[in-house]
């Protein structure tokens, strides 16, 4: 992608932590990640590879040890205010009802409460929770809470969506429904998306491009695959296409050794480590 201004551009970003006993733990080697405007990019990797860390850097929630993140051509200092962040864990305010949770992101901007609530109701409807506005988070199921969180993020109309394994804690059926919902909503006004996941099927089905990260420590990006599946996609159907299977085995080859490495199963070299299709 050679656009003038990528939505997100992480340039030589690395992450290292100071250890308690002195010394340094390098979590992520300097990496370059670029997400074009309107592009859906999945970052795939084994657990603990630092993919969520990259997301937090793009969000401005933590500073990189080196390198910089550039958002629409502007160097990021502090929080990324044009991004919406969908967390893996429950991030709703438990003391607010669904509609208050969705409306709050607008109210803090200075929007009148009435107007904010009206917009919130609209987005709750979009995520299929029109009649759940007065429920508190603990009165909703995990999938419903995720949908409220999605509405909470989308109602602010962010230019960039950052998602940290958002559907990770959900059961398989709910994940499928949520993925469909996400694609439907995304299709309507394509925003740039950085979607962190450890689920290969999910990554291929959703995204335009899949970046594969190696196992930590000192993880780096070892694969960059373009997903040429047509859009709009039907999540359930796309999985039966031959192209899907070709991509699946291609990316899995790249990922397999890394997954094994995290569990100490294999130390053999990364034969396909540059097996890039992009």
Contacts to another protein by CB under 8 A: 59, 61, 79, 81, 83-85, 87, 89-97, 104-105, 108-109, 136-139, 152, 156
Judged by beta carbon, residue 123 or residue 225, the one nearer another protein is 123
Nearer to another protein, 90 or 201 (CB): 90
The partner residues of 161 in beta bridges, in order of sequence, read 84, 193
Which residues neighbour 19 within 8 Å (Cβ) at sequence distance 6 or greater? 25
Q: Tell me the closest approach of the beta carbon of residue 78 to another protein, in angstroms.
A: 10
Residues 184-214 as b/e (b if ≥16 CB within 10 A, e otherwise) read ebbeeeebbbbbbbbbbbbbbbbbbbbbbbb
Nearest approach in angstroms of CB 105 to another protein is 4
Q: What is the smallest separation between the CB atom of 253 and another protein, expressed in angstroms?
A: 35
d(CA 276, CA 138): 44
Taking the complex as a whole, the smallest distance from the CB of residue 278 to another protein amounts, in Å, to 30
Which CB, 143 or 158, lies closer to another protein?
Answer: 158
SS3 content of the chain, % helix, strand, coil (to 5): 35, 25, 40
Nearest CB to another protein, comparing residues 5 and 89:
89
What are 49's two structure tokens? 């590879």
CB nearer to another protein: give 59 or 247: 59
- Shortest separation between residue 206's beta carbon and another protein, angstroms: 21
């Amino acid at each position: 992608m050679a656009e003038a201004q990528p939505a997100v551009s992480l340039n030589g970003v690395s992450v290292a932590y100071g250890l308690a006993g002195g010394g340094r733990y390098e979590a992520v080697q300097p990496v370059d990640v670029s997400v074009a405007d309107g592009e859906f990019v999945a970052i795939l990797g084994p657990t603990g590879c630092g993919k969520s860390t990259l997301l937090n850097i793009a969000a401005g929630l933590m500073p990189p040890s080196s390198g910089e993140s550039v958002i629409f051509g502007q160097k990021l200092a502090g929080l990324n205010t044009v991004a919406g962040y969908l967390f893996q864990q429950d991030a709703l305010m438990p003391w607010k009802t669904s509609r208050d949770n969705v409306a709050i992101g607008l109210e803090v901007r200075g929007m009148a409460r009435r107007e904010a609530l009206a917009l919130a109701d609209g987005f709750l409807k979009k995520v299929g929770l029109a009649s759940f506005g007065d429920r508190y988070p603990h009165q909703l199921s995990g999938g419903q809470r995720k949908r409220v969180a999605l509405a909470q993020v989308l109602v602010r109309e962010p230019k960039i969506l950052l998602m940290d394994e958002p559907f990770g804690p959900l059961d398989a059926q709910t994940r499928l429904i949520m993925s469909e919902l996400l694609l439907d909503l995304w299709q309507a006004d394509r925003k740039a998306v950085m979607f962190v996941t450890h689920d290969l099927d999910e990554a291929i089905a959703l995204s335009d491009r899949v970046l594969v990260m190696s196992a930590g420590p000192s993880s780096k990006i070892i694969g960059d695959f373009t997903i040429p599946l047509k859009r709009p996609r039907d999540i359930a159907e796309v999985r039966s296409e031959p192209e899907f299977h070709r991509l699946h085995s291609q990316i899995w080859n790249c990922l397999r050794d890394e997954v094994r490495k995290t569990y100490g199963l294999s130390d053999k070299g990364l034969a396909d480590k540059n097996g890039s299709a992009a």
